[in-house]
Structure 1
Amino acid sequence: MDAAAVTSEQRWLTWARRQAAAYLAAAGWGDDDGWAASTVAAARVVLCFLAMTVTTAVWAVVLLLLLPWPSERIRQSNIYGHFTGRMLLWILGNPIKVEGLEHLKTRGIFVCNHASPMDIFLVMWLAPTGTVGIAKKEIIWYPLFGQLYALANHLRIDRSNSAAAIASMKEVARKVANNNLSLILFPEGTRARDGRLLPFKKGFVHAALQTRLPIIPIVMTGTHLAWRINSVRVRPAPLTIKILPPVSTDGWEESRINEYVEKVRSLYVDNLPDSYKPLDALVARTKAD
């Protein structure tokens, strides 16, 4: 890393720390683990839930009116995500730095690492218009959000076994290709509790082989520190989102799926801080040194 890049990163970290300190000071906290911090943080989460309930109800009515027009429902769901995602992030108050926004202009398969409920808000905010999400079929049973997800014409897959998952992904890819859409998903398939990158599932590569769309990695850091899984506490940790250049899938072959999975995952390993890298990558680096 050159001196200019180091200086820029230092400026960002200094700014983020000041923002976090101001966040604490505004509430009169000296320690973000104190009772006052816990109370205000919980209040922010409750406010997020209430705000999301209102916007979800409004957009649900809009989507019901648009039932005959599936493509417009997708567009409206993206607008809902841009508005609601940004609003929820504003309520939570974490400093956010985004790099590589220009890569969101490319139609493709957007893949994101996943370590926190906050990742969902970031994805809602960043996903370009004309992008569909993909989730397990059981999401339909989630109160409010699950029903809106189905109304918005987003896609669901059957993960009951590998054969069903592959068949579902092929159907997803067909719909994406036929409707000129982009796709966004979490290739780890679940959230990493400690923030360290988990192994990637193969679904995004199957989708790429069917659509020939480029893969665009979105690398997120800080979210598991800001909002831990199964917690109502949101801490003022700074968030960084780095959108990497598209990875061309032209010429990819089905016989090399495992190679492509690791190729994309290695981009995350290269762009994540050590505290987020998978332990196997750190061990391999130590041996190489």
Structure 2
Amino acid sequence: MKVEIHGLENIPRNETVIFTSNHQSMLDIKLSLAYIPINFSFISKDSVFHIPILGAYMKSSGHIPIQRGEDRKAYATLLKAIKQLTAKGKSLVVFPEGTRSEDGRLGEFKRGISLIILKSGKRVVPMAIYGSNQFMPKHSLLSHPGKRFIRISFGKALDFDYSRTDREYTIYVTDKIKSAVSNLLQL
């Protein structure tokens, strides 16, 4: 497997940020751990925390479980977690699609990510992982080894008007982040 990295210079080293990435495969988690050069935690569906070994690792490493389908509870959990993480100097990695892609294409981003970003006041570093779906596709516990190419790209940090949380602006923020990730996938 060949991994190519682009845009490491776009990751701020002196502040906590929110990385927003597409999600193609379980391999994305391992790739993030290996190639993001700053301290961070993941937001992950709570069922991952019940998987033997992986769940214990997720808990002990300070990653954040979220119950999907309970939007208000999830939102409150995320805001609290972001405040705790940033107080500890940790950044956050989120997959705004909410699930892995079936075919490697970029899915719709959940609008809730924009509210979390705007309430947190943190800059966003768009991130794109290309090719991981070929190595370990959704619904597969085993990898498909062979000559595989994976590219991880980091875009320039995005700033927003953190005083606005109206519906129109949250839609704009979500679209802007999705567009930035999409552009990185095209490199």
CA distance in 1, matches of 2:64, 2:161: 24
Are the aligned partners of 1:109 and 1:204 in contact in 2 as well (CA < 8 Å)? no
Unaligned runs of 5+ in 2: none
Q: Which of the residues 71, 75, 89 maps onto 1:162?
A: 71
CA distance in 1, matches of 2:71, 2:162: 25
2:15 is equivalent to residue 104 of structure 1: no
CA distance in 2, matches of 1:266, 1:213: 18
CA distance in 1, matches of 2:150, 2:120: 32
Residue of structure 2 equivalent to 1:240? 151
| TM-score computed with the length of structure 2 as normaliser | 0.87
Distance change >3 Å, CA 252–CA 264, structure 1 → 2: farther
More strand by percentage: 2
Measure how far apart 1:151 and its partner are. 1.3
Q: Which of the residues 194, 198, 219 maps onto 2:103?
A: 194
2:127 is equivalent to residue 214 of structure 1: no
Q: Output one character per residue of 1:174-206: Cα deviation in whole Å (capped at 9) or x when no partner.
A: 213332321111111101011010001134322
Residue of structure 1 equivalent to 2:177? 264
CA distance in 2, matches of 1:193, 1:235: 20
Distance change >3 Å, CA 226–CA 138, structure 1 → 2: closer
Measure how far apart 1:136 and its partner are. 1.9
Measure how far apart 1:249 and its partner are. 2.6
SS of 2:125's partner is: strand
> Quick one: percent identity of the two aligned structures?
25
Are the aligned partners of 2:118 and 2:162 in contact in 1 as well (CA < 8 Å)? no
The amino acid that maps onto 2:2 is P
Measure how far apart 1:245 and its partner are. 0.5
CA distance in 2, matches of 1:227, 1:158: 24
Measure how far apart 1:257 and its partner are. 1.0
2:165 is equivalent to residue 254 of structure 1: yes
Measure how far apart 1:261 and its partner are. 0.3
CA distance in 1, matches of 2:165, 2:94: 20
Q: Give the count of matched residue pairs.
A: 181
CA distance in 1, matches of 2:102, 2:154: 22
| TM-score computed with the length of structure 1 as normaliser | 0.58
The amino acid that maps onto 2:180 is L
Measure how far apart 1:111 and its partner are. 1.2
Note the aligned Cα RMSD (angstroms). 1.9
Are the aligned partners of 1:177 and 1:211 in contact in 2 as well (CA < 8 Å)? no
CA distance in 2, matches of 1:140, 1:225: 25
Q: Which of the residues 141, 145, 148 maps onto 2:57?
A: 148
CA distance in 1, matches of 2:88, 2:112: 19
Any residues of structure 2 matched to 1:54-133 within 5 Å, and which? 94-106=1-13, 107-133=16-42
Q: Output one character per residue of 1:98-148: Cα deviation in whole Å (capped at 9) or x when no partner.
A: 111112344310111111122121111123342111112222211101011
CA distance in 2, matches of 1:264, 1:210: 16
Are the aligned partners of 2:79 and 2:120 in contact in 1 as well (CA < 8 Å)? no
Residue of structure 2 equivalent to 1:185? 94
CA distance in 2, matches of 1:161, 1:236: 41
